[in-house]
Amino acid sequence: MSSDKRDPVKTICPYCGVGCGIQIQQGEEPGDVQFMPWGDAPVNEGRICIKGGAATEVVDHEDRLTDPLIEEDGEFREATWEEAYDRIVGELERIREEYGPDAMGFFGSSKTMNEENYLLQKIARRYGTNNVDNCTRMCHASTVWALRTSLGAGAMTNSMRDLREEADVFWIQGANPGEQHPIANSQYFRQAVLDGATVIQVDPHANKTTRSFGIDDTDRHQHLQLNPGTDIPLLNIVLKTILEHHEEHPEDGWVDEAFIEERTDGFDHLKETLADFDREAAAEECGVPLEDIELAAKKYASADNAAIFTGMGMSQHACGVDNVQNEINLALITGNVGRPGTGVNPLRGQNNVQGTCDVGAMPNVLPGYQLVDDDDSRAAVEEVWGFDVPDEPGLTNVELSHEFGESVHGLYVMGENPVMSEPDANRVAERIQQLEFMVVQDIFMTETAKYADVILPATTWAERDGTVTNTDRRVQRMRGVDKVHENTKHDLEILSTVGSRLFDADDFDFEDPEAVFEELRRVCPIYHGMTYDALGEEGLHWPCYEPGDEGDPYLYEEEFDTESGLGHIEGVSHQPPKETPDDEYPLILTTARLEEHYNTGTMSRRSPTLNRQTPENFVDVHPNDAERYGIEDGEDVVLKSRRGEITVQAQVTEDIKEGSVWTTPHFAAASANRLTNDVLDERAKIPEYKAAAAEIEVGIES
Ligand code: SF4
């Protein structure tokens, strides 16, 4: 061990998309890794939330996978890396020979770095398939689709810094930064509020965001507590209110006519869509007083700079693309795009979910969002790679899952846990057993790894170097300390070996992550101007087209990145959730995450500090529903949908609306995803996690 390895190294928190900088210091032994603040880290300036502070707790956890495992006669046995590689390469070759390349699927991971996801998608494409996807499909695929189609880039239009300094109104819909992006909330949004900004929160559930701004206590802020799945009618009320006011009072400038004329198309379609729209009926559908929505419309439209923040409450619906399109409509008709403090800003979940998409780990795009079915884009990438890329988009991860045992017979999983993260998880567990071969590379024995044929022990975030891209498009470097377990390998090394052996070629043979990044920037125009040196400690916001570019904190100052250069407006109409309450399942179930836990909890459930806060799942039930069912606060109940049931403790609270119930996906024994509906948005293929019909059964023996 070299002595400089024991100096603190600057890296990035492995949890959420805010991308906070932290330092880690290795003690006398590998695995003795301590967290240290990074005082002048570019995003968080030394501040940290409970997850970031506890992130090192899992690095040397006793559950770490330490050796390759191969399944034999229903048991896992330790294997050598040689055996594991031989089995993987042999099975991938067999599957391609027997069924063709589209019989394999590849799952990248937002928990791993840009270089690793880049290499995984390159393996998939050289294998001959575009069946490569990542968990953005489950969180913001619809947001990416709508933003890319209507504005140009599937990412935040602005940066957290310019939003803090310039935004007068924060319109936060279907997002809960107080819980899920704590440092963005406390350091950026709360600071703006202290400087006078107004918050309008649109969410069926009162939460830490509501409380952190004192939204309930002031006339300045508002919480519009709508029924789950009624975001389109609520925004249509806002849009129609603004348009009607503008007809009577054009001098107020609520509608930016010059911006619409010069920089957008589709405005007439929006007006036609709203011509016969009935605001009173829509407000009733939303369960929010009409005058409250009108007041919110006034606050947004009359602000100098108004910014929209959008989260999974918007994206995780079968109408997710239309939900986000309506936010785009609102921003465009009021001219709130293309300058600091404005825009439509998705708050991304994991620390590298943005980067995983940027580098092409998606079935329809190559690195830099170049469409696989665009001949010129494909040719540009093929020239660097030296092999042909299939020209049809592949299957998304839920589509792949639906095909397990049918047209899909093999799966390569890097750092994902679909048996818990996908909707209708009981069926996913059944289908995954129909695969002929699955390899999982991870740090723990996940719920998915239990069904694998080969398990490869990877290293943790703290042991590796590479880059990640945060929610406001800032690409930052991660730096690692020594490996904890000798026989584990970095994801990049594993992929490099698999690629080299599978294709008997040297174009997967890279010396280090920087060498991979150098190739990535040759095929990814928005990263082309970046180098490890240029990223330094501050990082750079993409797009960064040429060396020397400083990157763009906010987008679209002059024109949109669409074919016409115009921002696209398109009216949308209400589409109720695919499953609505009935006599058998009379409640609406909606889901979300907790501050102390993280997605399927593979890391956070093993972190003593985090797990202590909330060790088990629970369900929020409104007091009127609790009375109707005879539920006591703290009582165990069975929460059921058409797809399964979980036993959870009832938390009786007015945080949730009457008729709705709210629970979380983090806990293996009682995950919300045993209940959620796997119906998809037809364009973005994102599942409708946020609305399902449910029922509660009481009187459980505990
Ligand atoms: Fe990590 Fe996100 Fe917390 Fe920052 S806000 S410390 S990135 S979990």
- Kindly give the number of the ligand 1 atom that is closest to the alpha carbon of 183: 5
- Kindly give the number of the ligand 1 atom that is closest to the alpha carbon of 13: 1
Q: Per-residue pLDDT tens for 410-429?
A: 999 999 999 999 999 999 99
Q: CB burial class (10 A; 0-12, 13-18, 19+) of residue 281?
A: exposed
- Kindly give the number of the ligand 1 atom that is closest to the alpha carbon of 470: 7
Q: Is 349 in the pocket of ligand 1 (CB under 6 A)?
A: no
Q: What is the DSSP string of 525-564?
A: GGGTT--HHHHTTT-EESP--STT--B-SS--SS--SSSS
- Kindly give the number of the ligand 1 atom that is closest to the alpha carbon of 16: 2
Contact present, 86 and 438 (Cβ < 8 Å): no
Cα 115 to ligand 1 centre (Å): 21
Amino acid 183: pLDDT: 94
Cα 127 to ligand 1 centre (Å): 36
Cα 182 to ligand 1 centre (Å): 6
Cα 485 to ligand 1 centre (Å): 26
Cβ count near 113 (within 10 Å): 31
| Residue ranges of the chain that CATH labels 3.40.228.10 | 141-346
- Kindly give the number of the ligand 1 atom that is closest to the alpha carbon of 44: 4
Q: Which residues of 18-35 are buried (b: 16+ CB within 10 A; e: fewer)?
A: bbbbbbbbbeeebbbbeb
Residue keyed to tokens 């109720």: 576
How large is the average pLDDT for residues 11-24?
A: 95
For residue 207, pLDDT over 70 is answered with yes
Alpha-carbon distance values, 454 to 266, 410, 605 (Å): 52, 12, 24
Domain 87-136+352-443+452-527 CATH assignment equals 3.40.50.740 = yes
Q: Is 48 in the pocket of ligand 1 (CB under 6 A)?
A: yes
Which mutation among 23, 45, 48 tests ligand 1's pocket best, with the greatest number of atoms within 8 A of CB?
48
For residue 5, pLDDT over 60 is answered with no
Q: Is 183 in the pocket of ligand 1 (CB under 6 A)?
A: yes
Q: Is 51 in the pocket of ligand 1 (CB under 6 A)?
A: yes
| Token representation of residue 364 | 């329809």
For residue 1, pLDDT over 50 is answered with no
Cα 128 to ligand 1 centre (Å): 37
Q: Whose CA is nearest to atom 4 of ligand 1?
A: 20
Q: Per-residue pLDDT tens for 444-483?
A: 999 999 999 999 999 999 999 999 999 999 999 999 999 9
Q: Whose CA is nearest to atom 6 of ligand 1?
A: 52
Q: Whose CA is nearest to atom 3 of ligand 1?
A: 49
Q: pLDDT band for position 599 (50/70/90)?
A: confident
For residue 567, pLDDT over 80 is answered with yes
Q: Is 178 in the pocket of ligand 1 (CB under 6 A)?
A: no
Cα 13 to ligand 1 centre (Å): 6
Q: pLDDT band for position 700 (50/70/90)?
A: low
Q: Is 603 in the pocket of ligand 1 (CB under 6 A)?
A: no
Mean pLDDT of the chain, nearest integer? 94
Q: Is 610 in the pocket of ligand 1 (CB under 6 A)?
A: no
| Residue ranges of the chain that CATH labels 2.40.40.20 | 587-697
For residue 4, pLDDT over 80 is answered with no
Q: Whose CA is nearest to atom 2 of ligand 1?
A: 16
Q: Whose CA is nearest to atom 1 of ligand 1?
A: 52
Cα 598 to ligand 1 centre (Å): 11
Alpha-carbon distance values, 627 to 88, 477, 624, 698 (Å): 56, 53, 5, 12
Cα 360 to ligand 1 centre (Å): 25
Cα 691 to ligand 1 centre (Å): 27
CA angle 312/317/323 to nearest 5° reads 80
Cα 35 to ligand 1 centre (Å): 13
Which of 274, 215, 222 has its CA nearest to residue 243?
274
Q: pLDDT band for position 597 (50/70/90)?
A: confident
Cα 240 to ligand 1 centre (Å): 38
Helices (runs of H) and strands (runs of E) counted in the chain: 27, 28
Which mutation among 111, 183, 468 tests ligand 1's pocket best, with the greatest number of atoms within 8 A of CB?
183
> What pairing do the DSSP bridges indicate for beta strands 644-652 and 636-641?
antiparallel
Distance, CA of 223 to CA of 202 (rounded, Å): 6
Which mutation among 11, 16, 208 tests ligand 1's pocket best, with the greatest number of atoms within 8 A of CB?
16
Domain 587-697 CATH assignment equals 3.40.50.11540 = no
- Kindly give the number of the ligand 1 atom that is closest to the alpha carbon of 49: 3
In the chain, % of residues over pLDDT 90: 86
Q: Is 17 in the pocket of ligand 1 (CB under 6 A)?
A: no
Which mutation among 10, 38, 44 tests ligand 1's pocket best, with the greatest number of atoms within 8 A of CB?
44
Q: Per-residue pLDDT tens for 55-104?
A: 999 999 999 999 999 999 999 999 999 999 999 999 999 999 999 999 99
| Residue ranges of the chain that CATH labels 3.40.50.740 | 87-136+352-443+452-527
Cα 609 to ligand 1 centre (Å): 15
For residue 2, pLDDT over 50 is answered with no
Q: What is the CATH number of domain 141-346?
A: 3.40.228.10
Which mutation among 11, 13, 609 tests ligand 1's pocket best, with the greatest number of atoms within 8 A of CB?
13
Q: Is 49 in the pocket of ligand 1 (CB under 6 A)?
A: yes
Q: Per-residue pLDDT tens for 355-414?
A: 999 999 999 999 999 999 999 999 999 999 999 999 999 999 999 999 999 999 999 999
Q: pLDDT band for position 217 (50/70/90)?
A: low
Cα 188 to ligand 1 centre (Å): 13
Q: pLDDT band for position 216 (50/70/90)?
A: low
* CB neighbour list of residue 431: distance below 8 Å, 6 or more residues apart: 401, 402, 404, 405
How large is the average pLDDT for residues 214-241?
A: 90
Residue keyed to tokens 């952190």: 212
Q: Is 18 in the pocket of ligand 1 (CB under 6 A)?
A: yes
- Kindly give the number of the ligand 1 atom that is closest to the alpha carbon of 22: 6
| ipTM entry | 1.00
Alpha-carbon distance values, 243 to 294, 306, 455, 530 (Å): 12, 17, 57, 43
Contact present, 641 and 687 (Cβ < 8 Å): no
Q: Is 478 in the pocket of ligand 1 (CB under 6 A)?
A: no
Contact present, 209 and 246 (Cβ < 8 Å): no
Distance, CA of 115 to CA of 294 (rounded, Å): 47
Residue keyed to tokens 């519009």: 224
Amino acid 212: pLDDT: 85
